[in-house]
Structure 1
Amino acid sequence: MAIEGSFTQAAHALGVGQPSITTHVKALEDDYGIELFARHGHNIELTDLGRSLLAITHRIFSLEEEAVGALTEASGLHTGHLKIGAIGPSQVTDMILAFGRKYPDVELSVALGNSQDVLSRILNFQDDVGILPLESEEGRLHTVPFGENRIVLLVRTDHRWADLKEISIHNLEGERFVLREDGSATRHAFEDALAKANVSIKPVLAIGSRDAVREAVANGLGIGIALEDETLRHERLKTLRIADADIILHPHVACLEDRRNAPMIKAFLDLVAETAQDGAS
């Protein structure tokens, strides 16, 4: 219910009747003289105690998955389900292909979002690992670095800069920009570089999607920014580098520290570390 948001949806997800769910929850609350859910008409929300218990149950389910993973690892089957979070498909595609070749019986799923979404899903046990554009200061994480990614500008093919390969950051003064939402690490790094150069731009639109940023730029709403390895060919867009401000992100693969040795997570992290080492040599 904490995840689904209502008794009805929880019953549907579990394949049982709603009265059964209601009875079990009430019995648990009555036995201990506590309240796990605050009821507001047809809506429910977790109490502080309920949120604490939810965090504990997430860990219990995580440990159950690790136990199953350890048993299958010992049997040499390498089966299981690895949930991955990423801020863009280009970040994770090569990893998925390499991991799939090595462990073909492991099911993989990917959830896309901004860096705050990816971090939140790891901390809430929704994803096993996540690709973050920068090393996180979150103390509960174990991280493995890999590669680097440069921030570039996106302009329309008829923009006055379209024939340039690079431009000074100071030329961005007063220009109209289409940016990602506030939780975007790409936007944060770009704005940091602008502040250091004492350059002010005119943000005209904030969008929570890379594709939407590209389309907004292509339709003339302003200049955009993107990670260089995510700049797919677009017939109405050109990319150019910022000549005097190398704005480079150093992505990391992250997991919870106390889950780093779970078989499938460890296998994924080991593969990332090997790939990063090969790329550096």
Structure 2
Amino acid sequence: MLRSELRSFHAVAKHNGFSRAGKVLNISQPTLSTQVKALEQRYGVELFNRIGRDIRLTVPGHELFEITSRLTQAERDAENLLDTFMGFHSGTLNLAAVGPFHATDMIVAFKQKYPLIDVEVRFGNSSRCFERILSFDADVGIIAEVPQDDRVTTLPYSVHDVVTFVHSQHPFFQRDSISISELEGERIVRRETGSTTRIAIENELQNRGISVKTVLEMDSREAIWKAVEQGLGIGFVADFEFVAHPNLRAIPIADAKVKTNYYLAYLTERAQSQNHRILLQGRAQPH
């Protein structure tokens, strides 16, 4: 019974609620509540703080969730290992990526070699992708400027220049390049905290003593592109991520080396799992 109770606890913690967890496990909410309550009563511990319909993990709950995350991933790894004896004909690869561009290259190469393995990908900034790796929600991440963490192995993947991009009515639009000093006083539409593109350009501006005016902060590339197109300000993006558009143009910064480094990242303890071996051995290189 303990295994069922732990599975129920893990689902509630992962999906942040009994209702969502019940839908994922295809069992009723009362059954989930009963199993979690039985677990708490058996060991005399409170795993969730319940405030109305909201729940929050307690300190013991957080510690248990870390363990059940490892158990759940170990079970998936065991299933994937057994799949190797069938020629990689089933299984799922979970990928976290800072954007679709690198991820698409990797997924195409992976699917060509292993067409019957499902691929699930979630996008977010580097900080969020790193969290998904640590929480066992992602097998591999494609992230930039990863923090130092002994639990995670990183492999260099690619390096790209950061460029500015402007709308068709901006004075920079007809330019082949600009000097970084020309950004002084420019209106900026910037990414959210945790974006490595934002960190790279802001560090360079600060080092050069250049001041800009932030008019908007947005958490998606698409939203920033739309805001720049509407003339609200200029934006910054890694060069390979810029998508050609008649009303937008990417302009290199000629006298500054503003770059973002991209890495493949995965939990060190899972280096020998099926998904890591087949992905890292034949990984696609970005264009």
Q: What is the TM-score with the length of structure 2 in the denominator? A: 0.91
User: Residue 225 of structure 1 aligns with which residue?
Assistant: 236
User: Residue 170 of structure 2 aligns with which residue?
Assistant: 159
Structure 1 residues 61-140: aligned runs within 5 Å: 61-140=72-151
Give distance in 2, aligned partners of 1:28 and 1:89. Answer: 41
Contact 1:177 1:203 in 2 (8 A): yes
AA aligned opposite 1:193: E
1:38: how far off?
A: 1.8
Post-superposition Cα deviations, 1:25-76, rounded to whole Å, max 9, x if no partner, equal 2222121111112222333221110111011000001111111111111332
Structure 1 residues 216-255: aligned runs within 5 Å: 216-255=227-266
Query: Which has the larger displacement, 17-26 or 258-267?
Result: 17-26
Contact 2:163 2:236 in 1 (8 A): yes
Across the two proteins, how many residue pairs are aligned to each other?
A: 276
Contact 2:105 2:285 in 1 (8 A): no
AA aligned opposite 2:85: A
Contact 2:97 2:124 in 1 (8 A): yes
Contact 1:151 1:186 in 2 (8 A): yes
Match of 1:56 among 58, 67, 71: 67
Match of 1:203 among 192, 211, 214: 214
Q: Which segments of 5 or more consecutive residues in structure 1 lack a partner in the other structure?
A: none
Contact 1:87 1:114 in 2 (8 A): yes
User: Residue 275 of structure 1 aligns with which residue?
Assistant: 285
Query: Aligned with 1:35: secondary structure?
Result: coil
Match of 1:186 among 197, 216, 219: 197
Residue 6, structure 1, aligned to residue 10, structure 2 = no
* Aligned-pair identity (%): 39
1:150–1:23 CA distance, 2 compared to 1 (3 A) = same
Query: Aligned with 1:108: secondary structure?
Result: strand
After the TM superposition, list the runs of 4 or more consecutive aligned residues in structure 1 that deviate by more than 4 angstroms.
Answer: none
1:78: how far off?
A: 4.4
Post-superposition Cα deviations, 1:135-167, rounded to whole Å, max 9, x if no partner, equal 432221111111211100101122111111111
Query: Aligned with 1:199: secondary structure?
Result: coil
Post-superposition Cα deviations, 1:109-130, rounded to whole Å, max 9, x if no partner, equal 1111111111111111111111
Give distance in 2, aligned partners of 1:79 and 1:257. Answer: 24
Query: Which has the larger displacement, 14-23 or 231-240?
Result: 14-23
Contact 1:132 1:253 in 2 (8 A): yes
Q: What is the TM-score with the length of structure 1 in the denominator? A: 0.93
Q: Which segments of 5 or more consecutive residues in structure 2 lack a partner in the other structure?
A: 1-11
Query: Which has the larger displacement, 138-147 or 188-197?
Result: 138-147
1:77: how far off?
A: 3.0
1:207: how far off?
A: 0.6
Match of 1:258 among 269, 276, 279: 269
Query: Which has the larger displacement, 204-213 or 31-40?
Result: 31-40
1:99: how far off?
A: 0.9
1:232: how far off?
A: 0.6
Contact 1:134 1:250 in 2 (8 A): yes
